[in-house]
Structure formats: structure tokens, C-alpha cells
Structure 1
Amino acid sequence: MFDAAGVDHVVVSVAGEDFAYADRVRYPPRIVPGTRTTRFLADFSGEERVLRVDARSASIPPEDIVFDARVALACGVMGEVTPETLLRMSQRARHVLADAQCLLRAVDGEGRVWNQRLEDTPYAALLGHLHVLKASEEEARALDLDAVRARTCVVITGGRKGSTVLTARDSVHLPSWPVEEVDPTGAGDCFLAGFTLGLLRGWPLTKCAELANWFGAQAVTQVGVPRVDVSKLPDVLR
């Protein structure tokens, strides 16, 4: 996404010895010997998707964060970003955006993924170090929204319903862009990329969310790794 938008960036990540795509990505992860890459098994047999953890990678230590940045994204999938690493990111970047899934996800005795309450995690004390916390509607149910929005901006994504930006003073809903959904995989990551691009442009939070909605919408029209053509941006978002 950032390559397509011409944004200079680096990626800090970790993976296990089974990671098979190191030669296909611009910034390969650091391989941790003796570990496996995080992998989920998704069960769609019920009314809601159920995720089970098949393997978990090591976490990213604070000392891996060696770059200064205007915006940093904390977008792990299962606890890869520790509280100490998140704090380190806030010290090296002007703004930090975090995906709630990397702060809330826990595993029960049968390997099923569930969202613990934010106030029951060590991340609750770090909200003041975040510029934006992005959460799905399901993840938002694990947040005390009044308490969280008093300390940072919360952006709730709702798929076809669009997104809602919550700050201490305001609540603004942004509708989604009309597209035909094929595969929702990667929509959240694309949303964060779009929001980051808006921040880099110096836009207000609501317009950042509007751009993020567009990026997320492009992702769901494709199967596999999403690719976004920024030349197709609507005039209002240029």
C-alpha cells in the first residue's frame, strides 16, 4: 500500500522457522530460531467466524524498534507487539496507530481466540501514548468506549456500514464506499494504511477515516493480498 502511494516506510516483524515468503516481501521478518509463524484456523460453520490458534510466533522486542518515524503502526495479529514495544514506538514516532486485535486477543483452553477487556490488559495504561486505536465492532465491545475515547481517538470499523470516529468531544460516522465484496481479508490492514496516509498529509481525523474507508473498500474487491491503485482515488480524496 505504501509503495503504491510513494510513502517511504520500513517494516519490523518476526516469524518462525517455517516462514516461506521471505523472498517475496520487501522487508523480510526476523526469523526466530525454534519458533513457528503465527497461524490461525478459521471455522465458518456457525453464524460467526471462530478463530483457533494453530501456532504462535515470538513477540517483537523493544530493541527491534530503531527507526524514527512520523507515524508508526502497531498491527500485530496475536500479541506480537508487547506493551514495552508499544511504548518504544511512541518514543520513536510522532503518532502511533494501534489495531485493537494485537492488544485484546487471548486464547482459551481449546485454542479459540477471544477478546479480553482492554482494562484487564497492561495496554490500558498506555492509551495516552496512542494517537488512534482502530477496532472492529466486535473488538469495540471489549472496550469501555467512554473511558478510552477520553484518552485517545477510537475508530470503529463496520464493513459495509462504514466507520465511526470517536474523540473526547465528537462522534462522526463516515459511510462506506459502494463496492462488490469478494473477500474481506486484509481490509483492516488497508484501512490502517489509508488512515496513515491521511495523517501524513496532515488531514483531520474524519478525513483520514474517509480515505481509510476507501482503502479498505478496495481490499474487499480482491482475493488474496490486496493491491490498491491510488490513481483511482476519487477527486475528493486527492
Structure 2
Amino acid sequence: MVTDSIATPRRGLLVGNYCHDVLHRDGRISAETLGGAASFISVILDALSLPFHTVSKVGPDFAYAAATSSHPPLTMPTSRTTLFHAHFGSGNPDRLLNRVISCDPIRPDDLPVQTRFAFGLAVGVGGEILPETLEKMLEICDTVFVDIQGLIRRFGPSDGRVSHVTLNESGFLHLLPRVAFLKASADEASFIDVEEARRWCCVVVTHGKDGCEVFSENGAFRAAPCKAYQVDPTGAGDCFLGGFAAGIVRGLSVPDAALLGNFFGSLAVAQVGPLKLDSNMVQVGKMKEKERGRKKQKEKEEGK
């Protein structure tokens, strides 16, 4: 299936399936929401006025057409929408995640043809991004951001319980030298040889309430967190990546982009489901972006 897109300056490509998330707390369903990294990231890119094209697949049972009308998915007539069940317990801060239903994978010929993009975000959640699809993204996008969860997640044959393999075992390792930024949670980072990976690309490891660390060939640093009251951690890493990528695309330095990512990640944990941004939140985010842009410009001028 081929989709077309009109070229726009600085236009991005967002690739990853939307899904249906069912949240359980202490054995009871507490919420049902639109999910998938693409649903979280699209809100941030829209809020920061970055144009982009989305490639996402769902089934005819998709219940969130209105919520995704600005960035509609491809409906696969013979498939069903990816479904995740996330289980949280009062005595356990970690969630148990099961992929109950999986929609079709996103293949290279699902990506827009005869179009070049300024940036791409490979943000699979249910194994939908194939190595050949990421390779195609690397060919048509100037800068590619990758969420490691889309590469290393595996799913139990009986219950769909999410587990991980190492990056070396994932089938994606050979593409790493062409990736610009690789994002991982602290848990996922244990499945990467960070010291090796940082030789090939910039590795960003999120630590929730403790901010994030950024590793590159030339060094490493930690970006301070933003305070937040956590209601639901789902989507925090996605919102971080959306803010971080937007900052990089807008010309911020990596440290400033990391702080912008932390800001949006902190907003995500205070809500259930896709991020809802009011005008004040958006204004704060844009102000932070502008302040850091002015700081970067001043540093350039002083360095002349």
C-alpha cells in the first residue's frame, strides 16, 4: 500500500501504529484510551507547529477516528487494531504489559514515495516496524530518531507478555550507524551496549522523575527533570521523544532539546491517555524553546 505526501519545508515523517490501551489497576479496568507512541508524539509536533506525515495502521474496529482526524491512519480491512493491556498494582510501581492483538506491520511500500523528509521518527510499539522499513526511513529522511522499544520488544506466544531481546539480537543493529538519535528507557538501556552504541549515534536514556542522560562519542551529560505529579506513566517516554526531536529540528542544542523533552514528559505523566495540552502549557513549551534558541544564538555571537 502506497501513500503520497506533498513535500513541505522541514516536514517530518512519523511511523508507528496507533493502538487501543486498556489500563488495569489492582485487577480492575481503570481506563481505556487511544495509545501508541505516534498518538502522543503527534500532539507535541502539532503544538510546536512542526508539519509531518503519519504512517500508522489500524483495523476497522479503530475507535478513535475523531481523535486522529488530523493524522488519519491506514485502515486494514482484514486486520484489527493493536490492543495492549497494561497492569498496575498498588504495591508494584512497574507495569506488566501484554499485547493482546497485533495489527499489520508497516512495510517500506507503505511509506510516501518520491518525497524527502527533514526528519523521521520510528516509534513502533507492537513490533510493527520491520528492519527494511527503518532502512527505507533512513533513505528518505535527513535525520532519524528511533525509539528502541520498537526494535527490541518481543511478545509471549500465549499471552502476548512484553519482553525484550538485546539490540544485537534484534535484526536492527546494522542500521545503527545511520540513526541520528536512539532513545531508550532506563530498563530498555540494559538491552543495549550503550558504550558501543554511542560510537555510532547519540543515545538518550530516560530516567523518569530523575530526568535523562545523553551519551555521544564525545561525552555524556545528565539533563535535569521537571517536577510532576504522576498519575499514569504511559506515554511519558513518547512525549519526551516528541519534545526532544522537536527541539533538535528547531535548531536547539542537544542539552536544551533534552530539557524540552523532560518538560513534555513531565506533562504526560500527570494525565491518562494521549497528552492534552491547553494553551498555557503550549505557551510555556514554546517559551522554553525560544529561550533556549536565543541562548544558542547569543553563544554563537559571543564565540565569533
Pick the TM interval, shorter chain: over 0.9
Of 171, 181, 191, 2:240 maps to: 191
Q: How much is the aligned-residue C-alpha RMSD, in angstroms?
A: 1.6
1:141 matched residue in structure 2:
190
2:268 matched residue in structure 1:
219
2:72 matched residue in structure 1:
28
Of 173, 190, 208, 1:159 maps to: 208
For the residues of structure 1 that align with 2:264 and 2:99, how far apart are their CA atoms? 28
- How many residue pairs match? The answer is 238
Q: Does 1:53 align with 2:66?
A: no
Shift, 1:235, TM fit = 4.9
The CA deviation string for residues 109-131 of structure 1, in whole angstroms up to 9 with x for no partner, is 33211011110011111101211
For the residues of structure 1 that align with 2:67 and 2:223, how far apart are their CA atoms? 35
The CA deviation string for residues 85-126 of structure 1, in whole angstroms up to 9 with x for no partner, is 111111111100011110010012332110111100111111
1:2 matched residue in structure 2:
45
Gap regions ≥5 residues in structure 1:
none
Shift, 1:44, TM fit = 2.2
Shift, 1:237, TM fit = 3.4
For the residues of structure 2 that align with 1:203 and 1:6, how far apart are their CA atoms? 15
Counterpart code for 2:203: V
The CA deviation string for residues 34-77 of structure 1, in whole angstroms up to 9 with x for no partner, is 21111111222473321112100111111122142211100110
SS at match of 1:133: strand
Instruction: Go from structure 1 to structure 2 and tell me whether the alpha carbon gap of 1:4 and 1:235 turns closer, same or farther (over 3 Å shift).
Output: closer
Counterpart code for 2:282: V
1:233 matched residue in structure 2:
285
Greater CA deviation, 86-95 or 221-230?
221-230
1:44 matched residue in structure 2:
88
Kindly indicate which of the two structures has a greater share of residues assigned to strand: 2
SS at match of 2:163: strand
Q: Where does structure 1 differ by over 4 angstroms across 4 or more consecutive aligned residues? A: none
Of 103, 127, 142, 2:151 maps to: 103
Counterpart code for 2:95: R
Shift, 1:147, TM fit = 1.2
Counterpart code for 1:124: L
The CA deviation string for residues 8-31 of structure 1, in whole angstroms up to 9 with x for no partner, is 111111112221222331121111
Q: Does 1:84 align with 2:112?
A: no
For the residues of structure 2 that align with 1:50 and 1:73, how far apart are their CA atoms? 26
Identity over aligned pairs, percent: 37
* Maintained 8 Å contact 2:99/2:126: no
SS at match of 2:271: coil
For the residues of structure 2 that align with 1:151 and 1:223, how far apart are their CA atoms? 36
Gap regions ≥5 residues in structure 2:
1-43, 291-304
Higher relative contact order (CA 8 A, sep 6+): 2
Q: TM-score, normalised by structure 2?
A: 0.74
Greater CA deviation, 160-169 or 213-222?
213-222
